[in-house]
Structure 1
């Protein structure tokens, strides 16, 4: 008797047998498909929204006030809470320290969707 687990399905009176590795592989494929369907396009910001984000970033940097930062990454809009440590408008980047792990995150300004004070 084999040590490999086997699963059988009945489909139109045919039997198809899968081993445990094949089932995990199929599950990963389904997970990827579901994640792809959940992706959203990156929101386009108006000039006014971009100016407001820049203003809030600079104020948060100078006052060390905590912010909610919403950014776009891999098809998702993500919101985190933390502090702005550095802003380089010309270089299109900033450094954000998240509240949970207190890790420095270097991001581009073009990834930003919204910045608000907590």
Structure 2
């Protein structure tokens, strides 16, 4: 009976904390609103700028983007490269990009959004 319970339970291998990369969240604002798929645009810019081999080390995920405000999750080692990709991939005709905050937790990102007057978008 005990073994059947253990088999049903999905066991994840535990990775030691020292091995995992620390994460960073980048909160940014695009003015005026950007119409398009930002995630696809960033991935194309990553492969164009860094190539396949070096681009694979730059890990990011677009957590939220509504056209003007966005949050990108990335690693501590690659956040400067992700900011570079953000700045270079948006066409100049679309306006400008403002980095509002870089944080290690979503709680701090929510606090910054509350100060901006956009409390419930994440």
TM-score by length of 2: 0.24
Which protein is bigger by CA-based radius of gyration? 1
Larger % of strand: which?
Answer: 1
Larger % of helix: which?
Answer: 2
Of structures 1 and 2, the one scoring higher in RCO (CA 8 A, sep 6+) is 2
TM-score by length of 1: 0.24
